[in-house]
A and B are shown apart, each in its own frame.
Chain A
Amino acid sequence: MSEHHHPNYVKIWAILVGLLVVSVLGPMLGIQIVTLITAFGIAVVKAYLVAKNFMHLNIEKRYIVYMLTTCLVFMFLFFAGTAPDVMEAEGSNWEKPSFELYDEAASHTVGHGTAHH
Chain B
Amino acid sequence: MAETVPSHPPAPEEGHPHHEEMSFWSKYIFPLDHKMIGMQYLFTGIAMAMVGGFFAYTFRMQLAFPGIEVPGWGLVSPADYNALVTNHGAIMIFWVAMPVLIAAFGNFLIPLMIGCDDMVFPRINRLSYQIFFLSVLVLIASFLVEGGAFGGAWTAYPPLSAKAEYSLTPLGSSLWLLAVALEFVAFLLGGINFITTAMNSRAPGMKMYDIPIVVWMIVLASIMFMLSVGPLVAGAVMLFFDQQLGTGFFDPARGGDPVLWQHLFWFFGHPEVYVVLLPAMGIVAEIITVFARKKLFAYKTVLYTAFGTGILSFTVWAHHQFVAGIDPRMAHIFTITTLLISVPIAEMCFVYIATLYGGSIRLTTPMLWALAFIAEFLIGGVTGIFLGASGADIYFHDSYFVLAHFHYTFFPIAIIGFYAGITYWFPKMFGRMLDDRLGKIHFWGTIIPFNGIFLPLFILGLAGQHRRIYNYEHFPELATPELQALRVLATVSLLVMLGFQLVFLVNFVRSLRRGEKAPQNPWKANTLEWQAPSPPPHGNFATLPTVYRGPYEYSVPGRAEDYWPQNAPE
- Which residues between 68 and 90 of chain A lie within 8 Å of chain B, taking CB atoms? 70-71, 74-75, 77-78, 81-82, 84-86, 88
- Which residues between 37 and 94 of chain A lie within 8 Å of chain B, taking CB atoms? 70-71, 74-75, 77-78, 81-82, 84-86, 88, 91-94
A34 vs B473: C-alpha distance when bound (angstroms): 64
Q: Which of A78, A88, A101 contacts B231 (CB 8 A)?
A: A78
Q: Mark B302-335, 1 if CB is under 8 A from A, else 0.
A: 0000000000001101100000011111100010
B257 contacts chain A at the CB level, 8 A cutoff:
yes
Q: Which of B252, B314, B318, B334 contacts A96 (CB 8 A)?
A: B252
Residues of B within 8 A of A91 (CB): 327, 329
15 more A-B contacts (CB under 8 A) besides A81-B317, A85-B259, A88-B327?
A: A71-B230, A77-B315, A81-B263, A81-B267, A82-B263, A84-B327, A85-B263, A85-B326, A85-B327, A86-B257, A92-B327, A96-B257, A98-B252, A98-B253, A99-B255
Residues of A within 8 A of B318 (CB): 81
Q: Mark B380-410, 1 if CB is under 8 A from A, else 0.
A: 0000000000000000000000000000000
Contact A85 B325 (CB under 8 A): yes
Question: What is the distance, in angstroms, from B101's C-beta to the closest C-beta of chain A?
Answer: 23
Residues of A within 8 A of B315 (CB): 77, 81
Contact A74 B314 (CB under 8 A): yes
B485 contacts chain A at the CB level, 8 A cutoff:
no
Residues of B within 8 A of A (CB): 227-228, 230-231, 252-255, 257, 259-260, 263, 267, 314-315, 317-318, 325-330, 334
B interface SS class: helix
Pairs A–B under 8 Å by Cβ, sample size 7 = A81-B330, A82-B263, A84-B327, A84-B329, A85-B327, A102-B253, A103-B255
A106 contacts chain B at the CB level, 8 A cutoff:
yes
Residues of B within 8 A of A94 (CB): 325, 327
Residues of A within 8 A of B328 (CB): 92-93
Question: What is the distance, in angstroms, from A80's C-beta to the closest C-beta of chain B?
Answer: 10
Question: What is the distance, in angstroms, from B328's C-beta to the closest C-beta of chain A?
Answer: 5
Residues of A within 8 A of B267 (CB): 78, 81-82
Q: Which of B231, B260, B314 contacts A86 (CB 8 A)?
A: B260
